[in-house]
Amino acid sequence: MTFQSIDFIIFFMVVFIVYWLSSHRFQNILLLASSFLFCGYINIKFLGLLIISGSIAYCSAILMSRFPKHGKAILIPSVLAGLALLGFFKYYNFFVESVDRVFQYMGIPSTLPTLNLMMPLGISFYTFQNISYVVDVYRKNITPCFSAVNYAIYICFFPKFVSGPIERASHLLAQIQKPRVIDLNRFINGLVLLLWGYYQKVVIADNIAIFSDKLFALKDPSFLIVCAGAFAFTLQIFADFSGYTDIARGCSQMLGFDLAKNFNNPYFAKSPSDFWRRWHMSLSSWIRDYIYIPLGGSRVSTIRWVLILFVTFFVIGLWHGASWNFILWGLYYWLLYLLFRLWRYIVPSAVRNIKWAQLVTLPFMFLLTNLGWLIFKLTDFNQLRKYLSILLSGWSMEHGMFAFYIVAYTSLYSLPLILVCSYFFYNEKTNRSLNLFEIRLLRIAAIPILYTAILLLRCNYSSDFIYFNF
């Protein structure tokens, strides 16, 4: 049951109507039943692992409140259990295959078996939510939740179950525990977000995916074709993931919840650190709070900081998938981070802070981001090596008109997204904002426009959301 399917639309409409006709207690029971149904509809086997993982965190938090002197002794097994489940189902075969290759290279026969495992959807997301919950209880940042129903909703709330955002208990669980009443403004805001998310997915991302997938299937692409393909995928993955998040946030607002914002114009970043403050913000903030800062953050020696940063980006890469290209993608940003930090030390601040410096830094960072997405996209190392060698071989005008057509095609479909992001970036830089009346007027006008655009421009080819794989 994917967001873009008719099954989900009917499912959500039924849940929405029954939900707002119910009392707070029954609302939560309905949300839990709906979330279990949503998860089980995808694959009934996923429910067992979800319940086991959530039960470990739920019981561990209660035990820590009952036996505070033994908090660390309870916390560590709880975190390790969650990571063990994630590691086994997501990374076991990857580990075995990697060790097998090393043994083959050394001439050693390997008998390590691979297993026919299906990676449970959403496991990377709800595992991180479980870990953040027990750590926050241990740190006494929050009190444990004694309602199994409320905690289960926090873990498997169906709008954000598959691909996030990664919620914190202090934000989402607090909303689950409070009564909710229907609000017209919140409903309209949610509906606009929902339609905007669908527009990004079925109009922008899916239409671009037709060309993007074909370009990356070419055996011998030219320099410009590789560049056009990277550009197309850069727009596709943003529209795809941002679209999912906006649909999730829109559904949640219509049900009375506010989910965390996950994007803030990431392609207007001026540096790698700025990019990760804007892209997949719920993941980057989680990594910061539960890995980077606990390891020492920036308040350590330079050598240790470099190692901490290495671990941080290694985890970011590995979190995205059981493939070496994701690890390479994470380490690519680690290297960029170091180079940009070195640049800050070498170049005087007077030069770096020139008024129009962003006319250079923003496009340059966007090009580096394109290269990063090329690494992210190509899970086949031989293909990745070929594409990178083509880029390093130098400029070539071969297939120039076709590459120009691809760039123009993807830019045209992405134009509404580009304009919206540019508008909000301009407001960010000028501290400008619309008044309440203007915001309401725009949102009401956006509903029929987006609905009509989706009907007329939607792609007949429907693909899964890219982040469903993580």
Instruction: Give the Cα separation of 250 and 37 in Å (integer).
Output: 20
Q: Rounded distance, CA 204 to CA 402, Å?
A: 20
Residue with tokens 């995205």: 320
Question: Can you give the C-alpha Rg of the chain in angstroms?
Answer: 23
320 is catalytic: yes
Letter string b/e over residues 422-444, b meaning 16 or more CB atoms within 10 A of that residue's CB: eeebeeeeeeeeeeeeeeeeebe
In 368-393, which positions are buried (b, 16+ CB within 10 angstroms) versus exposed (e)? Answer: bbbbbbbbbbbeeeebbeebeebeee
Continuous H helices in 321-464? 324-346, 349-352, 358-377, 381-392, 400-430, 436-457
Instruction: Spot the catalytic one: 70, 280, 320, 399.
Output: 320
Contact 420, 241 (CB under 8 A): no
Helix axes 184-198, 436-457, angle to 10 degrees: 40
User: Nearest to residue 234, comparing CAs of 410, 401, 84?
Assistant: 410
d(CA 111, CA 395): 46
Q: Compute CA distances 470 → 161, 181, 216, 321, 357, whole Å.
A: 12, 34, 20, 6, 36
397: three-class secondary structure by DSSP = coil
Which DSSP category does 199 fall into? I
**What are the tokens at 393?**
């071989």
Tokens describing residue 103: 């043994």
DSSP state letter for 87: I
**Residues annotated as catalytic (active site), given as ranges:** 320
